[in-house]
Amino acid sequence: MDAESRLSENRPSLRDLPSVDLVLKTPAGLLAAERFGRSRATLAVRAALEEVRACVLAGQLAALPSPDHVALAAGDTLAREALPSLRPVFNLTGTVLHTNLGRALLAEEAVEAAVAAMRSAVALEFDLATGTRGERDDHVRDLLVELTGAEDATVVNNNAAAVLLTLNTLGAGREAVVSRGELIEIGGAFRMPDIMARAGVTLVEVGTTNRTHPKDYAGVLSEDTGLVLKVHTSNYRIEGFTREVPARELATIAHARGVPLVNDLGSGTLFDLARIGGAQSALAHEPTVRETVAEGADIVTFSGDKLLGGPQTGFIVGRAALIEKINRNPMKRALRVDKIRLAALEATLKLYRDPERLAARLPTLRLLARTRADLASRARALADPVATRLGDGFDIEVVDCASQIGSGALPLETLPSAALAIRPAGDASGGRLSALAGALRELPVAIVGRIAEGALLLDLRCLEDEAGFLDSLGHIRVPA
Ligand SMILES: *Cc1c(COP(=O)(O)O)cnc(C)c1O
C-alpha cells in the first residue's frame, strides 16, 4: 500500500463532523453562548469546525474531536478575543515613568475623581455660581498659578501639544532662536526642528553642539524674532567642554529686545527631587517649574504624566498676556483635554498642597522614594514563592540593580534598587530566558522585566501589589 492511500484510509470521514447546532448544544457550547452571545459563539464554532475540516483534509487528524472538544476550542478563542488589548502589566523594568507602559500611575484621589467625572455630567464649562458659561481651564488654573508662581496657566493634550501651540502662537511667520545643543529628538517623531516647521516657525540655530554663548543669541535677535526657546535636554547630557547660557541670563538678553523666552522643561517638576530618599538621596536637584518661572521665562511648558505624576496633559504657564494669546489660537480647541483627565488632574494637583503627605499619596513619588534596603528585603521574601511557581528549571537570586526615572527626567541618574535575577538552571543559552520573558508577558497581568547579563531582572521598585503579582505568576506555563 502506498503512503497516499494509507493516509486516506486513516482519514476520518468528514460526514461524521458534528453540526454547528450540535456543538452549540454541548455544555461548553451553551456556556460560550451565555458568556459571549449567540452570534459570536456561532461564528467561533463554525471557525473551529472549519479548522477541524482543514486538518482532516491535510491528513493531520486520526480521529474527529468530540462536539464538546470543538465547543471548548471555540470558547477558548472567544475568551482570548475578549481580553482587553490594553492589558494591565506589572512594570518590573526598573523604569518608573515608562512611556511604553503608560508613564505615571495615578493617585487614588485622581482615579476616584476621574471615575466620578465619567459617570456624571460635570460643570466642565459651566459656572455654577452664576449659571453662565465657564472655562475648561478654570478647574486647574488657580492651582497651577499657586503651585508655579506664574501669572496664568492653560492645559492641553500633552507637552508636545503645549510646545506646538506655544510656538505657533508666538512664532508663526517669524523666527524662533534655539541653541544647537538643544535641538532635541524626544522619541517618535517629536524632533524640535520638525515641530517648528509644523508650527510655521523659522528655526534659527545658534552656537554649536557643545557650546553656546550669550553673544550667539544676542547676535541674531531682530524684529523678525518671535521667541527665544530654551529646551531641557531631557534624554541626554552634553559633558566635557560645554557652555550653555543660563535661563536667567537668556531672559535678560531676550527681554532687552522685547522678545519672550519660552522654556520647554519637558518633565518639569513641582517639588525638589533632591528631597527624595532622605539623606542618602541619589537624585540631583532638577529645576522646578516655580524656579524656572522665577528665572524670567515668559512661558514654561511641561508634562502632566512625567514627574508630576498625573494624567497625560501638557501645561503652558507664564505671562498672562501671552497665555491669553495662546488661548485665542484656534488650534487650542484641537488640543484640549477632556473632562476625565481634567478631573484626574485637578485631584493630582490638589495633593501638592499637602507636601508632607505627597510622597505617600502620589505613586510616582512613592516609587521613586523606595530605598534599596526596603526593596532588597521584599525581594528576599519573594524569592521562594517565585521559585515555587517557576519550578526547578530556574535559579533565582536577589541582586542589587539600578532603576531609572524614565521619560527623560535626570537621564544619567539612577536609583539604587533590588531585583530578582532569574537564570535558566545549568543552561547558558539565551533561548530559555527569552522564552521565560515571553511566558511572563502572556500572564493574565503581564509581567515585564528586563534581560541583562544572562538573567531576567525583575526590578521590584514599581511592584506594590505583591499578592497580585504572585497570583498572576501562578498561571505561568513554564517553558520547557
Ligand atoms: C517629554 C518631553 C516633551 C514631550 O512631552 P509629552 O508630554 O510626552 O508630549 C517635550 N519636550 C521635552 C523636553 C520633553 O522631555
Atom 1 of ligand 1 has which residue's CA nearest to it? 266
> Under DSSP, is residue 243 helix (H, G, I), strand (E, B) or coil?
strand
Output DSSP code: residue 209: S
The pairing of strands 175-179 and 202-206 is parallel
> Under DSSP, is residue 26 helix (H, G, I), strand (E, B) or coil?
coil
The ranges assigned to domains in the chain are: 3-82, 89-98+367-473, 108-361
Overall fold of domain 89-98+367-473: Aspartate Aminotransferase, domain 1 (3.90.1150)
Atom 3 of ligand 1 has which residue's CA nearest to it? 266
Domains 89-98+367-473 and 108-361 share a fold: no
Atom 2 of ligand 1 has which residue's CA nearest to it? 266
Write out the chain's pLDDT in tens, 480 residues: 455 555 556 688 899 999 999 999 999 999 999 999 999 999 999 999 999 999 999 999 989 999 999 999 999 999 999 989 999 999 999 999 999 999 999 999 999 999 999 999 999 999 999 999 999 999 999 999 999 999 999 999 999 999 999 999 999 999 999 999 998 887 777 889 999 999 999 999 999 999 999 999 999 999 999 999 999 987 778 888 899 999 999 999 999 999 999 999 999 899 888 777 554 556 778 889 999 999 999 999 999 999 999 999 999 999 999 999 999 999 999 999 999 999 999 999 999 999 999 999 999 999 999 999 999 999 999 999 999 999 999 999 999 999 999 887 777 788 999 999 999 987 666 788 999 999 999 998 999 999 998 899 999 999 999 999 999 999 999 887
Q: Which of ligand 1's atoms lies nearest the C-alpha of 160?
A: 9
Handedness of CA 10, 15, 21, 27 (dihedral sign): negative
Instruction: Output the CA 290–ligand 1 centroid distance in Å.
Output: 18
Pick 108-361's CATH classification: 3.40.50.300, 3.40.640.10, 3.30.930.10, 3.10.20.30.
3.40.640.10
Instruction: Output the CA 156–ligand 1 centroid distance in Å.
Output: 13
Cα–Cα dist 1/3, whole Å = 7
Q: What is the pTM of this model?
A: 0.91
Residues sharing a CB contact under 8 Å with residue 118, sequence separation 6 or more, in sequence order: 340
Q: For ligand 1, is residue 264 a contact (CB within 6 Å)?
A: yes
How is residue 356 written as a grid cell? 508632607
Q: For ligand 1, is residue 103 a contact (CB within 6 Å)?
A: no
